[in-house]
Amino acid sequence: MKIIERSLKSSDGLTLFATEWAPDGKAPTACVALVHGLGEHIGRYHHVAQAFTDAGFAMMGIDLRGHGKSEGPRGHSPSYEQLTKDVSMLIESLRKDFPGLPVFVYGHSMGGNIALYYAIRVRPDVQGFIITSPGLATKNPVPAGKLFLGKVMANIAPSFAMDNGLDLSGLSRDQIVIEKYKNDPLVHGKISAKLAIDMLEAGKFELENASSIDLPLLLMVGSSDRLVDPEKVKLFAKTSKNNVTFKLYENYYHELHNEPEKAEVISTMIDWINNQIK
């Protein structure tokens, strides 16, 4: 596997860290644009990239603004529209490196929320979407006081940072994954008031407009996810069109690609992509 690290400049001038993974010694058959989750970074997907490149795919991701090695206040974005511009930049970078190949967008958790928003709002010219454990709604309702504070601060001090409240024990049934997450210096527990409110509103918008997605979509969630609401993900799948492939993994936690059965989950993604490019 070939690994190239680089910097990309966003439309509003931030430097975003990017990594590209490609098959070694053979031309890829498809490209995957990775959009990671809240508080984390693309380095946590190296094992997914290894499996994808072994299957003949190239993958590229950016540390989202305010995350990982990218610039910006921790856990903050000025708007969801700016995030869609960042995703578009990522896709264009992939296309420059691998012209003519089909492009898929892979979004996890908050990244799944961003990717679905991108699919509905932008209607990009891509081959399809892989969405795992999307943050359409939190598993437990946000406390009224915290929600009120978030709405107020989103207006008067958008970058005001709050604890993101993630239940780390619900990331994976593999305790090693949780310990690595806790000790990862590039992981943080922050979210800005603006991003928090935007993410909640985007989830509602996506549920209301699920039927408007007309691109192939692989949608997956664990039934025991304690970070996002699996019932909302099931509802999204139910109200989408017939080109949605939905998989509910019984008793799996939030990070499907980091569960003990991760090989099966990643293999499902690979098989789905191969079926789309036949």
Read off the pLDDT of residues 82-127 as tens digits, 9 standing for 90 and up: 999 999 999 999 999 999 999 999 999 999 999 999 999 999 999 9
Catalytic residue among 109, 133, 159, 172: 109
The answer to whether the CB of 56 falls within 8 A of the CB of 23 is yes
Relative to beta strand 161-163, strand 190-192 is: antiparallel
Q: Phi and psi (nearest 5°) for 253?
A: -90, -160
Domain count, the chain: 1
Mean pLDDT of 145-168: 79
Q: Would the pLDDT of 7 be above 80?
A: yes
225 is a catalytic site residue: yes
Q: Cβ distance 203 to 233 under 8 Å?
A: no
| Rounded mean pLDDT, 135-146 | 80
Q: Enter the DSSP assignment of 228.
A: B
Tell me if residue 273 falls in helix, strand or coil.
helix
Three-state DSSP class for residue 99: coil
Read off the pLDDT of each residue in 253-261 and give the average, rounded to a whole number: 98
Residue 78: which CATH number? Answer: 3.40.50.1820
Query: Active-site residue among 188, 225, 229, 257?
Result: 225
Give the range of the structural domain holding residue 112, as residue numbers without chain letter. 2-276
Select which of 67, 108, 188, 254 is catalytic: 254
Q: What is residue 160's predicted lDDT score, i.e. its pLDDT?
A: 80
Place of tokens 């593999």: 174
Burial class (CB in 10 A: 0-12, 13-18, 19+), 163: exposed
According to the model, what pLDDT value does residue 149 have?
67
DSSP helix/strand/coil, 3: strand
Please tell me the predicted confidence (pLDDT) of residue 71. 98
